[in-house]
């Protein structure tokens, strides 16, 4: 729609330019429409500059968390869809942040929040409201001196969600033999003649 208005303003400018040149009308009419066209052309550049100047922004509401990126894109996760919160520690890396909060939602929703943005918006106090959240996990994560990911909170499994347990934990043997182990002969495939 902006292009249409730019086109209309430039058309009126062009049509009014010759009469203003000859002195039959005032220069105000072409001048106003040229100014309107220039403002409409410059406005997206000013908005983009403003977004870049502001940088990324984090909005924490009762519904969820939204991280707005400088170029207009964003990441979002609802509290009701939040499945896991972890901290990725990157000490001494080439990143400007030493750790990041990774909030993973169901499906493709999720938010990655750097330490400065998290501190500016007090993300930890909002995460502390999650049922079963433990602050000791954050202390362990932030005390790490190696690149590592720490899960600090995980939601209870939803109905129908599969939880995979290792065979040792459930007291059974693995369903498939270990590599290099030959299964008993009664399970060997037989040839049909």
Per-residue tokens: 15: 């049509």
CB atoms within 10 A of CB 30: 20
Per-residue tokens: 34: 């040229």
- Asked whether residue 132 carries a pLDDT value surpassing 60, the answer given is yes
Mean pLDDT, rounded, for 18-45: 89
57-154 under CATH 2.30.29, yes or no: yes
Sequence ranges of the domains in the chain: 2-54, 57-154
Round to whole Å and give the CA distance between 182 and 98: 49
Of 40-44, 103-107, 141-145, 176-180, the one with minimum mean pLDDT is 176-180
Per-residue tokens: 83: 């499945």
Question: pTM surpassing 0.85?
Answer: no
Mean pLDDT, rounded, for 119-123: 88
pLDDT band for position 109 (cuts 50, 70, 90): confident
Residue that has been written with the tokens 């869809």 in this structure: 81
pLDDT band for position 117 (cuts 50, 70, 90): confident
pLDDT at position 78:
92
Question: Mean pLDDT highest for which of 44-53, 76-85, 108-117?
Answer: 76-85
Q: What is the DSSP string of the chain?
A: -HHHHHHHHHHHHHHHHHHHHHTSS-THHHHHHHHHHHHHHHHHHHHHHHHHHH--EEEE-SSEEEEE-TTS-EEEEEGGGEEEEEEEE-TTSSSS-SEEEEEEESTT-EEEEEHHHHHHTTHHHHHTTSTT--HHHHHHHHT--SSEEEEEEEPPPPTT------HHHHT---SSPPTTPPPPGGGS-----
**73/22: higher pLDDT:** 22
Share of the chain above pLDDT 70, in %: 73
């Amino acid at each position: 729609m902006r292009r249409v208005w730019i086109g209309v303003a430039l058309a009126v400018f062009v049509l009014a330019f010759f009469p203003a040149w000859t002195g039959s009308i005032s220069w105000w009419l072409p001048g106003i429409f040229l100014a309107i066209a220039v403002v409409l052309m410059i406005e997206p550049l000013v908005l983009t500059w403003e977004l870049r100047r502001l940088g990324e922004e984090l909005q924490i509401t009762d519904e969820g968390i939204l991280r707005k990126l400088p170029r207009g894109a964003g990441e979002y996760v609802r509290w009701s869809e939040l499945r896991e919160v972890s901290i990725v520690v990157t000490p001494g890396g080439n990143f400007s942040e030493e750790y990041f909060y990774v909030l993973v939602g169901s499906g493709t929703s999720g938010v990655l929040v750097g330490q400065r943005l998290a501190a500016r918006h007090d993300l930890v106090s909002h995460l502390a409201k999650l049922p079963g959240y433990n602050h000791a996990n954050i202390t362990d994560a932030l005390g790490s001196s190696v690149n590592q990911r720490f899960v600090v909170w995980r939601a209870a499994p939803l109905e129908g969600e599969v939880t995979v347990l290792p065979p040792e934990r459930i007291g059974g043997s693995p369903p498939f033999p270990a590599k290099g182990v030959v299964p008993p002969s009664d399970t060997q495939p037989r040839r049909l003649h």
